[in-house]
Amino acid sequence: MTTTYTVKIEASNEDGTIWQALEPAENIETTQWGPTWTAEDVARATADNQTVAEGDRWRVLVWEGADADEDSEPAYVLDAADA
């Protein structure tokens, strides 16, 4: 079984009031990792392997499904401090 997630990395200004995507959101399929991967697992793997953000003012947002509505509540948000 394959689960698909929409993943986006954002960075913020110094006070965290403005967030901007560093790249367009991407669809991630968990086929390569197995069917038990959760949104949190995908967020942590993305954080571990990302190369677009530096410092501590970034986050990974994960939605369930392909091409998810990015204005909806993410299934998981991982802040840089917790990565």
Say if residues 33 and 50 touch (Cβ distance below 8 Å).
Answer: no
| Domain of 23, in residue numbers | 4-82
Q: Quote the CA–CA distance of 64 and 4 in Å, as a whole number.
A: 7
For residue 4, the model assigns a pLDDT of 93
For residue 10, the model assigns a pLDDT of 97
Q: Quote the CA–CA distance of 51 and 7 in Å, as a whole number.
A: 14
pLDDT in tens, 29-59: 988 777 789 999 999 999 999 999 999 999 9
For residue 32, the model assigns a pLDDT of 75
The predicted model scores a pTM of: 0.92
Q: How many structural domains comprise the chain? A: 1
Tokens 């091409």, residue? 67
Say if residues 45 and 81 touch (Cβ distance below 8 Å).
Answer: no
Strands (E), 13-66: 19-21, 26-29, 58-64
